[in-house]
């Protein structure tokens, strides 16, 4: 190695952020292993690299003893003091043992170490860049696929989109550009592993944040999301300012905002409902688009009974129970839906007018 090599290490420090001293320390450690391997020795050695000119020296380290047991590790007091009169018992004497052709080995070893450290540094930078994007949306290009995964090019790194995280309506080809949600970022021995999803409820939430300025700036809040990817989703929104219509903000003029999200999700139906502190009102809203006659909070762990007009029962339950299932996920409550004709007690409807009045005030 020479001054040009040392200058190159200085440039790496500036460009890659890898400390020059860190690299030199790593090279010295690797050279010790190379020396022992190439010269078949078990003796204790130290490698020193001059920080200015790159000159390399190898030193055998021996302990000063009364009686030499292993000449590779020990040196007598007399022999040590012949080198330097200040040496005493148990001191460490360093004797230069730099092989004549060690330069070639050193250059090869240094190249391997620097290449490895650059690769590690780049992986570290990529990991740091993407760990902050966990639970966020990224756009990438499909590179290839196998039975288990799609492999997505995100620029500096390839991410994994498991087949189980692909919507049933997704149809991908190589070189397609897609949006996906980052569910996990791990720093593995092979580098950063980034796992994506197209089915996660977080994707829907982030798409609304991108599309609706009122959500992005905090005027409108997303309080809950329930999703059956590729089929139907529900999202509950809220605005502190009574003059702001949270549902209208998400729908957009002539439905342009929500339609952009529906298009991105291949036609997935999206119900946007008002969130309410009043759980009865909130549960009624969550069953949109069906109309609700009454909601009763039952004794037990978050259980409610919902009464709907006879002609709304199928709509409230939904195909294969989907609407009721999503409403339960959205609110976190177990919901039992009954039609008016299924309820026989007259008292069940005494307060219905008050309930409708409360919903219209919300």
pLDDT(220) > 90: yes
Dihedral in degrees, nearest 10, Cα atoms 202, 207, 208, 213: 130
Q: Sorting pLDDT into bands at 50, 70 and 90, what band is 358? A: very low
Q: Which two tokens stand for residue 308?
A: 């709907």
353: Cα within 13 Å, side-chain hemisphere: 1
Query: Residue 243: what pLDDT?
Result: 94
pLDDT(356) > 50: no
Question: Can you tell me whether residue 243 is helix, strand or coil?
Answer: coil
263: Cα within 13 Å, side-chain hemisphere: 7
pLDDT(348) > 60: no
What is the arithmetic mean of pLDDT over 81-88? 91
pLDDT(351) > 70: no
Sequence-ordered alpha helix ranges (H) in the chain? 3-16, 20-38, 77-83, 102-131, 201-211, 213-216, 246-251, 256-264, 279-286, 313-317, 322-331, 352-361
Query: Residue 81: what pLDDT?
Result: 92
| More confidently predicted of 349 and 76 | 76
**Lowest mean pLDDT, pick from 112-126, 146-160, 246-260:** 112-126
Q: Sorting pLDDT into bands at 50, 70 and 90, what band is 5? A: confident
Q: Sorting pLDDT into bands at 50, 70 and 90, what band is 355? A: very low
pLDDT(2) > 80: no
pLDDT tens digit sequence for 94-127: 988 888 877 777 878 888 888 887 888 788 888 8
* pTM of structure: 0.70
- Tell me which residue has tokens 């994994």: 160
pLDDT(259) > 70: yes
Average of per-residue pLDDT values in the chain: 88
Query: Residue 343: what pLDDT?
Result: 83
Environment class of residue 59 by beta-carbon count within 10 Å: exposed (0-12), middle (13-18) or buried (19+)?
Answer: middle
Query: Residue 41: what pLDDT?
Result: 67
Name all domains of the chain by residue range, CATH numbers in brackets: 3-130 (3.30.1480.10), 133-197 (2.40.50.140), 277-362 (3.30.300.20)
244: Cα within 13 Å, side-chain hemisphere: 15
What is the arithmetic mean of pLDDT over 22-42? 80
Give dist(CA 144, CA 333) in Å, integer. Answer: 42
């Amino acid at each position: 190695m020479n001054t040009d090599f040392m200058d190159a290490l200085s440039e790496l420090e500036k460009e890659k952020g890898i400390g020059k001293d860190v690299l030199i320390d790593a090279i010295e450690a690797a050279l010790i292993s190379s020396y022992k391997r190439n010269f078949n020795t078990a003796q204790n050695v130290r490698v020193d690299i001059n920080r200015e000119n790159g000159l390399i020296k190898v030193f055998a380290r021996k302990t000063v003893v009364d009686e030499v047991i292993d000449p590779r590790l020990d040196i007598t007091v007399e022999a040590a003091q012949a080198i330097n009169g200040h040496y005493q018992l148990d001191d460490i004497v360093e004797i230069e043992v730099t092989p004549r052709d060690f330069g070639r080995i050193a250059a090869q070893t240094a190249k391997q170490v620097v290449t490895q450290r650059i690769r590690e540094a780049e992986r570290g930078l990529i990991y740091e860049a993407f760990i902050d994007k966990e639970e966020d949306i990224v756009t990438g290009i499909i590179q290839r696929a196998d039975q288990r995964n799609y492999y997505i090019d995100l620029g500096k790194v390839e991410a994994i989109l498991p087949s189980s995280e692909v919507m049933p309506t997704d149809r991908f080809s190589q070189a397609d550009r897609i949006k996906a949600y980052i569910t996990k970022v791990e720093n593995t021995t092979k580098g950063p592993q980034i796992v994506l999803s197209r089915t996660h409820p977080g994707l829907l939430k982030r798409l609304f944040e991108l599309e609706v300025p009122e959500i992005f700036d905090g005027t409108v809040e997303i309080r809950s999301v329930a999703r059956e990817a590729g089929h139907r989703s529900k999202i509950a929104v809220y605005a502190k300012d009574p003059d702001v219509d949270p549902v209208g903000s998400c729908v957009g003029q002539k439905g342009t905002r929500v339609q952009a999200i529906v298009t991105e999700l291949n036609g997935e139906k999206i119900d946007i409902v008002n969130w309410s502190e009043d759980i009865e009102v909130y549960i009624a809203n969550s069953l949109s688009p069906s109309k609700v006659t009454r909601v009763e909070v039952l004794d037990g762990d978050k259980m409610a009974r919902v009464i709907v007009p006879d002609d709304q029962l199928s709509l409230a339950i939904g195909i294969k129970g989907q609407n009721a299932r999503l409403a339960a996920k959205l609110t976190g409550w177990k919901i039992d839906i009954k039609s008016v004709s299924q309820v026989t007690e007259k008292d069940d409807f005494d307060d219905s007018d008050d309930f409708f009045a409360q919903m219209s005030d919300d």
